[in-house]
């Protein structure tokens, strides 16, 4: 599925990102597309979910109450563009807790800005630090909440199949390869989806690519069976695991501190 960004929207997104830097006196280290466009199942009218990591001037961090300062920048959705980001310290703390959203941002196939050593430094650390159980916990929670609310009813909200299938396939990928999953939904399908659901998934992908709103429809039996079986197979494997904090690892902490100092110096 085409997940490209038109020149018109890319130019507008870059304009807004530069405006963020000017308005807040920050430097954007990394900016990317997240959500359905990055995952590869956008509808014609899907929003652009622009996410970024930024750093402030060095002196901003040199105060005793830095933890109390606001560490996010958020904007309302305007003209289909949803733009928001995190301070580098917040991103690093969340990285230590295997934050699934951040890990996906860093590997998004649609990048707008990548300046300096931050993003690549984080990617290099990921291989040594990501907690696989915590990552599965993240995806399991996402799948269960969407399945419970949208799918197991007489009429299912069809687009939500993607929001359940993708995390379930991501768990299968982690189990099969012992590494974080790819971002693109079709890559997950190719790698770990069972044959019996692939025709129905392909049909949904094709329909979503040309339909502004899938709406509600009858349950898709083979996909529902797969979802129910996967959730039953997981059982309580990931519940209660929480997110282990790896800041106690001296190696990780030292690496993040060196990267932080390099970025803000």
Report the CATH number that the domain containing residue 250 is assigned in CATH.
Answer: 3.30.460
pLDDT of residue 24: 98
Q: Are residues 209 and 105 in the same domain?
A: no
- Whole-model pTM: value is 0.91
Q: Are residues 173 and 254 in the same domain?
A: no
Is residue 85 one of the residues assigned to a domain?
A: yes
Stretch 7-24: mean pLDDT: 97
Is residue 2 one of the residues assigned to a domain?
A: no
Q: Are residues 28 and 124 in the same domain?
A: yes
pLDDT tens digits along 116-164: 999 999 999 987 788 888 889 999 999 998 888 878 877 878 888 899 9
Q: Are residues 124 and 138 in the same domain?
A: no
Q: Are residues 248 and 126 in the same domain?
A: yes
pLDDT of residue 238: 76
pLDDT tens digits along 73-104: 999 999 999 999 999 999 999 998 889 999 99
The boundaries of the domain holding residue 49 are: 7-130+243-264
Non-local CB neighbours of 150 within 8 Å, separated by 6+ positions: 156, 157, 160, 163, 164
Q: Are residues 98 and 121 in the same domain?
A: yes
Instruction: Name residue, tokens 């529902």.
Output: 224
pLDDT for residue 51 is more than 50: yes
pLDDT of residue 159: 85
Identify the three-state secondary structure at position 207.
Answer: helix
Is residue 1 one of the residues assigned to a domain?
A: no
Q: Are residues 169 and 143 in the same domain?
A: yes
Stretch 60-67: mean pLDDT: 94
How far is it, in rounded angstroms, from Cα 151 to Cα 159? 10
Ranked by mean pLDDT, the top range of 16-25, 41-50, 141-150, 154-163 is 16-25
Q: Are residues 91 and 160 in the same domain?
A: no
Q: Are residues 102 and 144 in the same domain?
A: no
Is residue 247 one of the residues assigned to a domain?
A: yes
Q: Are residues 177 and 206 in the same domain?
A: yes
Q: Name the more confident of 88 and 236.
A: 88
Is residue 25 one of the residues assigned to a domain?
A: yes
Total tally of structural domains belonging to the chain: 2
pLDDT of residue 2: 45
Six token digits for residue 144:
């269960």
């Amino acid at each position: 599925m085409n997940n490209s960004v038109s020149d018109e929207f890319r130019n507008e997104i870059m304009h807004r990102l530069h405006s963020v830097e000017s308005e807040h006196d920050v430097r954007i280290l990394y900016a990317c597309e997240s959500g359905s466009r990055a995952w590869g199942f956008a509808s014609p009218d899907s929003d652009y979910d622009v996410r970024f990591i930024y750093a402030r001037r060095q002196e901003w961090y040199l105060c005793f109450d830095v933890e109390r300062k606001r560490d996010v920048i958020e904007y309302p959705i305007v003209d289909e563009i949803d733009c928001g980001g995190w301070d580098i310290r917040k991103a690093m703390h969340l990285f230590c807790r295997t934050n699934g959203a951040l890990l996906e941002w860093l590997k998004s196939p649609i990048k707008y800005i990548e300046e300096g050593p931050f993003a690549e430094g984080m990617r290099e650390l990921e291989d040594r630090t990501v907690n696989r159980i915590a990552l599965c916990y993240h995806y399991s929670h996402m799948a269960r909440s969407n399945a419970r609310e949208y799918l197991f009813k007489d009429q299912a909200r069809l687009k939500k199949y993607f929001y359940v299938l993708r995390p379930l396939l991501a768990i299968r990928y982690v189990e099969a390869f012992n590494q974080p999953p790819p971002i693109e939904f079709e890559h997950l399908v190719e790698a770990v989806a069972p044959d019996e659901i692939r025709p129905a998934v392909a049909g949904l992908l094709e329909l979503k690519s040309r339909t502004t709103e899938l709406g509600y429809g009858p349950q898709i039996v083979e996909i529902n069976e797969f979802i129910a079986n996967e959730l039953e197979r997981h059982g309580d494997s990931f519940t209660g695991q929480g997110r282990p904090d790896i800041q106690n690892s001296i190696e990780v902490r030292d690496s993040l501190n060196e990267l932080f100092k390099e970025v803000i110096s």
